[in-house]
Each structure stands twice: as structure tokens, then as C-alpha cells.
Amino acid sequence: MLLRCYQLIMKKIKINKSIYNTNDQIAKKLKEYFTQTSTYVVNLLASPGAGKTSLLESTIEKLGNKVKITVIEGDPYTSIDSERIKAKDILSVQINTKSGCHLEGNMIQKALDELDCNDVDLLFIENVGNLLCPAPWDLGEDIKVVIASLPEGDDKPLKYPEIFLASDVLIVNKIDLEGFIDSSSDTLIKNAKSIKPYLDIFPLSCRSGKGIDNWTNWLESKINVTSD
């Protein structure tokens, strides 16, 4: 029984390595395409319901008139998020992963059949809601942004360090609820910095609008630097 388990695990590791290698090759091609088309790409990561789509809506409201934005949406089922983005007059392609717990490079390649990145300055890839599985998957992005929602608790960077380690930016969302819940944005930020000291961090509330400008100003400066 033990030997059988060992064989299965070793097979799984070998296949996972092959799958990661295949993904890295695809991600390299994606990166080349995004560079050629001067498209700045953000891979957006978070638990379910942390506010990924709300952040996109707020970002579109602030930057949509200045920057050509497009969104690839990843969800197990439904096109609810994609419809929300389209309601802002922004092109959005929905990927449904079904049981799949993260996006992979080949899914982005397929979604690009419906997009021409020559017309895009800023491409958001909203990953599947999951604080674990999307971490190691390169999608050819410029940056990974993780959203931690304050009502989820301030200990998430300690429990789920891999996604914080993989990320370049931390958005602390739903700070308007501070005082109505037991977690603190200061503690969350301290915990995140203990995992990755040089994260760029933006506490904000998509609902109240507080802090959104800090995020969109920073993002706009990144796009301008990249397209110079």
C-alpha cells in the first residue's frame, strides 16, 4: 500500500514538473506577445469574494478614459463577473474552469483568440478565487497583485504565505468595515511584510472609494513607464 502511494506521488510530482515546464514555455510566449504589443498585464489573485471584480470596476472608473483596458475573467462557473465588466463598456472574455482551481497559460492563449492586444494598454487577468493554487502559475504577466479582504481576518499572510510571496502588490480591501469586525489592517499589513518586506501595499475600500486613487495613480505610473 505504502509503495503504491509512493509510486503515485512520484508519478504525480514528475507530471506536475512536466506541466509546470510546459506552462513556463507558454508563459514565455505570452510575455513576448505582451511586450511586442506594449500591453501591461496584471494577474489578480484573491480568495473568493475578496473584491477582485469590484477593484476592476473601480479601476475602470478611474482610468478607463485614459487607458485602454481589457479583462480576462476566470471563474469555475457563470459569466457574472464578465457581465459586470462589460456593463462598464470594457471588453471582457470569460474563462470557466469548472473544477479547475487556477488559470494556466494555455487558457490565456485561448482567450487571446478573442482579443487583439495591439488595442490594449492594460490587461487584467482575474484569476479563480483561491488563495493557494494560482500562486505558482506564470501567465506571462508583468505583476501579480493579491487582494486580502479585511473581513477574512488579518492572519491570512501567515497561513497562506506562498501567494503573498509570489505577489508584487498587496491590496487590503474593505477597510470601511474596520471597527465592525475583529481584524485590523495594521496587523494584516505587518503580517504581510513579515512574509515579504518589499510589497507595494494599498489599503482601500472599493465600496466607499477611499484609497482607490493611491492604487490607480501607482498603476498608471507603471503603465506609462512600461510604454515609454
Tell me, letter by letter, the H, E, C secondary structure of 19-32.
Answer: HHHHHHHHHHHHHH
Q: Which one of residues 6, 11, 118, 190 is an interface residue with a second copy (CB under 8 A)?
A: 11
Q: Does 87 bind a second copy (CB under 8 A)?
A: no
Do residues 145 and 163 make contact, with C-beta atoms less than 8 angstroms apart?
no
For residues 163 to 202, the per-residue mask of contacts with a second copy, x marking binding by CB under 8 A and - elsewhere, is: -----------x-xx--xxx--------------------
Q: Which residues pair with 70 in a beta bridge?
A: 91, 123
For residues 130 to 149, the per-residue mask of contacts with a second copy, x marking binding by CB under 8 A and - elsewhere, is: xxxx-xx------------x
Q: Which one of residues 34, 40, 160, 164 is an interface residue with a second copy (CB under 8 A)?
A: 160
Q: If you search the block for the grid coordinates 491590496, which residue do you land on? A: 171
Q: Which amino acid, 12?
A: K
Do residues 106 and 21 make contact, with C-beta atoms less than 8 angstroms apart?
no
Do residues 73 and 85 make contact, with C-beta atoms less than 8 angstroms apart?
yes
Burial (CB count within 10 angstroms: exposed 0-12, middle 13-18, buried 19+), residue 59:
buried
**Torsion sign across C-alpha atoms 9, 11, 14, 17:** negative
Calculate Rg over the CA atoms of the chain. 18
Say how far apart CA 174 and CA 33 lie, in whole Å.
35
Measured CA angle at 170 (ends 100, 215), to 5 deg: 115
Q: Does 210 bind a second copy (CB under 8 A)?
A: no
Q: Which one of residues 121, 126, 152, 220 is an interface residue with a second copy (CB under 8 A)?
A: 152
Stretch that binds a second copy, among 12-20, 60-68, 112-120, 196-204 (CB under 8 A): 12-20
Interaction residues for a second copy, span 38-67 (CB under 8 A): 47-50
Stretch that binds a second copy, among 27-35, 57-65, 118-126, 155-163 (CB under 8 A): 155-163
Q: Does 28 bind a second copy (CB under 8 A)?
A: no
CA dihedral 183, 189, 193, 198 (to 10 degrees): 160
Q: Does 113 bind a second copy (CB under 8 A)?
A: no
Minimum CB separation of residue 67 from a second copy in Å reads 26
Q: Does 13 bind a second copy (CB under 8 A)?
A: no
By beta-carbon proximity to a second copy, the closer residue of 180 and 198 is 180
Which residues are at the interface with a second copy (CB under 8 A)?
A: 4-5, 8, 11-12, 15, 18-19, 22, 47-50, 75-78, 80, 99, 101, 106, 128-133, 135-136, 149, 151-153, 155-156, 158-162, 174, 176-177, 180-182, 207
